[in-house]
Chain A
Amino acid sequence: MAISQKLVRTYFLLVLFLALRAFGNLSLAWGTKHMPETLAADPLVYIRSMLHPGIAVGVVMLIVALLVRLALLSLADLSFILPMTAIGYVLAALLGRVFLHETVSPQRWFAVLLIFGGAALVSSTPQATTGKIEGSK
């Protein structure tokens, strides 16, 4: 695959993963906050919680996000993907503020700048520094 085509695919999967994880986490947080029971060591409570619409939608979105991330890991290094997907933390803070009315202090805007700066630096490095591991199927 040509390098530019691989790069486009990597960034497409990255954006898809970020969107799925941000909205999946949001749906999960909304669902757990609206549950009558407290999640603890009892596995039955976790299984019952899956019936809550917010949690169910969140789980499906996070499962799809997992598959997208697996495809992403086949194209790029883990140490490349980790800082790039940190942009998701910014999205989580913003979505938490807008939809869950959580407080986001002014210093978090500075944090957002740091994360974007760091991600920009990492994006200027080669996305994959190791070849396909020998002995693969």
Chain B
Amino acid sequence: MTWVLLAVMVVATVLSDLLQSYEMKRAGEQSVGARGVGRLLRMIVERRYLMLSIFCLVFSFFSFMALVQTAPLSFAVPASASSFILETLAAKVLLKEQIGPRRAAGCLLVLCGVALLGK
């Protein structure tokens, strides 16, 4: 059951992040002041990809809740980082982000660290 929950969480997280990044790039720079938060909440309701991303996030969130009840937090959190590599690749291919050697090396170092953290 632990691995099923983890798989659901990873797929839902990847979809959610890609949709959020795509929509926020379209929206332009946002702030988190009182008006900024109101604007962000309105955007979630008005933009269908953001709404879909929240739906995916809810799936990811409930899977995480079930996971942390049965597994230690120090396993559950790093294990969820397996979505990391998928998201970085998707950001390059789908969102056309430029991932140079330094960013790629940094991502790999972080991935190794997160994997080691989960042991």
Contact = CB atoms under 8 A, between A and B. Distances in A.
Interface of A: 1, 6, 9, 13, 16, 25-26, 28-29, 32-33, 35, 38-40, 46, 49, 55, 62, 66-71, 73-75, 77-80, 82-83, 86, 88-90, 92-93, 95-97, 100, 102-105, 107-108, 110-125, 129-130, 132-133, 135-137
Interface of B: 17-18, 20-22, 24-32, 36-37, 40-41, 43-44, 50, 54, 57, 61-62, 64-66, 68-69, 72-74, 77-78, 81, 84, 87-88, 91-92, 95-100, 102-103, 105-117, 119
A119 B29 contact: no
Contacts of A39: 62, 65-66, 69
A49 B22 CA distance: 33
B105 A121 contact: yes
24 contacts: A25-B73, A32-B69, A39-B66, A68-B32, A79-B107, A89-B78, A89-B81, A89-B114, A90-B117, A95-B73, A96-B72, A102-B72, A102-B74, A104-B74, A107-B119, A113-B113, A118-B113, A121-B106, A122-B106, A125-B100, A130-B96, A132-B26, A136-B25, A136-B26
A71 B110 contact: no
B81 A86 contact: yes
A83 B28 contact: no
Given A32-B65, A86-B81, A125 B102 contact: yes
A38 B26 CA distance: 41
Nearest to B61: A62
A114 B116 contact: yes
B109 to A, nearest CB: 3
A114 B110 contact: yes
Label chain A's interface by main secondary structure: helix
Given A39-B66, A108-B116, A82 B88 contact: yes
B36 to A, nearest CB: 7
A103 B54 CA distance: 33
Given A32-B68, A73-B20, A111-B114, A82 B26 contact: no
Contacts of A121: 102-103, 105-106, 109
